[in-house]
Amino acid sequence: MSFLYETHLHTARGSACGISMGPEYVQRYIDLGYQGIIVTEHFFNGNSAVDRRLPWREWVNRFCRGYEETWEEGQRRGLDVFFGWEETFDGCDDYLVYGLDKAWLLEHPESRKWTRGGQYRAVKDAGGCVVQAHPFRQHDYIRKIVLSSGCVDAVEAANAGNHEQSYDALAMRYAARTGLAAAAGSDTHDLSRLDEKNAYGVYLEKKMESIACYVKAVKEHAIAGIKTEPGRCDYRGDEYVRLPVDIRDGGDRSTGRDLWEFLNG
Query: For the segment 165-182, what is each residue's pLDDT rounded down to a tens digit?
Result: 999 999 999 999 999 999
Q: Is the pLDDT of residue 143 over 90?
A: yes
Count helices and strands (H / E) in the chain.
8, 11
Q: Is the pLDDT of residue 130 over 90?
A: yes
Mean of the pLDDT values across residues 106-117? 97
What is the per-residue pLDDT for 1? 77
Count Cα atoms within 13 angstroms, Cβ side, for 226. 26
Each residue of 225-244: pLDDT tens digit?
A: 999 999 999 999 999 999 99
Mean of the pLDDT values across residues 18-25? 98
Picking from 230, 167, 160, 225, the residue whose alpha carbon sits closest to that of residue 195 is: 160
pLDDT band at 56 (very low <50, low <70, confident <90, very high): very high
Mean of the pLDDT values across residues 145-166? 97
Q: Is the pLDDT of residue 146 over 90?
A: yes
pLDDT band at 112 (very low <50, low <70, confident <90, very high): very high
Q: Which domains can be identified in the chain, with CATH numbers? A: 3-264 (3.20.20.140)
Mean of the pLDDT values across residues 67-87? 98
Count Cα atoms within 13 angstroms, Cβ side, for 82. 24
What is the per-residue pLDDT for 14? 98
pTM of this structure: 0.97
